[in-house]
Amino acid sequence: MRSRLIALFCVLSWVSSYLAQPDSTDKKLFESFGSDFKWGAACAAYQVEGAWSLDGKGPSVWDDFTHRRGKVKTKENGDQGTDFYHRYNEDILLVKKLGLDAFRFSISWSRIFPEGTGKINPEGVEFYHKVLDACQEAGVEPWVTLYHWDLPLALEKKGGWANREIVQAFEAFVRFCATEYGTKITHWMVMNEPAAFVGLGYLAGIHAPGKISIRTFLKASHHVCLSLAVGGRALKEVLPQAMIGTTFSCSTVQSVKQSKRNDKAVKRMDALLNRLYIEPSLGMGYPSEDLPILKRLKRYMLPGDSAKLSFSFDFIGLQNYFRVLVRSNRLVPVVGATRIRPEKLGLPVNEMGFEVYPEGMLSILRQFSEYPIDNFYITENGVCVNDQVTENAIHDGDRIQFFRDYLSRVAQAKKEGIPINGYFVWSLTDNFEWNEGFRPRFGLVHVDYSTMKRTIKDSGWWFKALLAD
């Protein structure tokens, strides 16, 4: 029996290695994007840095959240992350080794301002200078996200994003970073996925800070939308020649069964997930016609706020992972819809139970192309799969097939004239996946969490071969 299992494992490893070899179709796919298309990989401060309390860093909401019992499925936390704080040189060289042009990372607000405002932490400031200098030495372009969910805990204790004072605090943080690092960064992203950190953190309570309140969610949503525009203007004022963008999570929303009630539920869910945070920045206001609860936002708006919400970003980053299937359910607050789990319908899913649906990428790109935006990047796209770990290699043929399928839809969108100018893999390395812990692995590079050893997976070698060509 043992010999049969070994033989089967060898066959599976051979199949995976075979799938990792780019073929002529892969090469044509990559060639179709053109030589000026930007290729990169991404990560986020809390998920990789570790060093959560070293060198003067203050605690963030995620430090607090993951230290609470029952908040992370695996009972883990990001205290050590992938030790990027000490291994940033190694990881940046991996970006270069894979043939990628750019490295997207975020700045930890509480590493710069331990209390969110006021006193500056010089060790934290110097750390990001070191990261940026390492990028320059490696010939890798840094793309920096200013806020990727790790709000300083001191600000959350004052109400966090639900406290209007945070708009001013965020602007100060943005201006400091722009002034301090502006000569080393040409591409900035103000925030990462506001629909995720506001919805999951202030409405559903499954992400930091773990609150469940419609009122708090609405207040936070408005202050985040104000901060998006305020942050964009601050960056542009300090760095008029820089490219200023922001990123939005986006998912094709569809009904499991056609009906008038379900169609209205789709519109409500689409407004919540895809429209709530981008449309104010485009001067369109809040989509309250399709999501009526947003009419309550008027309670939290001051005179002049409508004009302050608008800012013309130089680019928009779209981040797509899965489709959302819904049916009407008036008992569910805010959206009046229930999300249907794809595995119940026999649909393919990743390790986190999210549907793998490549056509959704094309659909969402078409949807967002209807906005007056002339410069898109895919700033996150990837999948967690069950990697096959051997002594000398990490086989992940399913991840390679995922990239083949999704990139083919990106190429189709580009062919249709949608202005997509780059693609960032999520993620460079395996990392701490928020409330899911370390179990889901998204990386092109495998991390052994006991030793922190990095090993390039087949998918990483696949990208390297194609980008080298």
**Structure tokens, 179:** 């002034």
Say if residue 209 is preceded by a cis peptide, omega within 30 of 0: yes
Helix (H, G, I), strand (E, B) or coil at 151: coil
436 is catalytic: no
CA 349 to chain centre: 19
How many angstroms separate the CA atoms of 428 and 91, rounded?
Answer: 8
Q: What's the rounded Cα separation, in Å, for the pair 209 and 153? A: 9
**Of 37, 43, 27, 24, which is closest to residue 91 (Cα–Cα)?**
43
- Check: CB of residue 379 under 8 Å from CB of residue 316: no
CA distances, 235 to each of 85, 145, 190, 311, 313 (Å): 26, 12, 9, 11, 11
Backbone angles phi, psi at 285, to 5 degrees: 75, -175
Alpha carbons 78 and 80: distance in angstroms, whole number: 5
Catalytic option among 141, 156, 193, 433? 193
Contact predicate 268/262, CB 8 Å = no
Tell me if residue 289 is catalytic.
no
The torsion angles phi and psi of 450, rounded to 5 degrees, stand at: -85, -30
Strand ranges, E, within 1-148:
38-42, 102-106, 141-147
- How far is it, in rounded angstroms, from Cα 134 to Cα 132? 5
Length of the chain: 469
The CA distance from 430 to 422, in Å, is: 22
Out of 49, 141, 355, 380, the active site residue is 380
Distance of CA 84 to the CA centre of its chain: 18
Residue with tokens 């249907």: 340
Paired residues of 395 in beta bridges: 388
Catalytic center residues: 193, 380
